[in-house]
Amino acid sequence: MKKVAIIMGSDSDLPILEKAIDTLKDFGVPTEVHVYSAHRTPNEALDFSINAEKNGFGVIIAAA
């Protein structure tokens, strides 16, 4: 099964995304949560997105 990446621009976004994270886990969907800011960590955000499919991700949920 492909993984789901949940990407947020700041850890302060976590309370908004917790329900989605919990729901995915309840359904047994492998999920990874990361904080990448297009403003503060643009190289890391770009690297993650370029390599997401190769690293087993089928979906990226992004919030900021």
Q: Is the pLDDT of residue 44 over 90?
A: yes
Coil, strand or helix at 4:
strand
* pLDDT value at residue 1: 87
CB distance 42 to 17 below 8 Å: no
Global confidence as pTM:
0.89
The residues pairing with 7 across neighbouring beta strands, listed in sequence order, are 34, 62
Average pLDDT over residues 12-30: 96
* CA distances in angstroms from 60 to 50, 57, listed in the order given: 12, 7
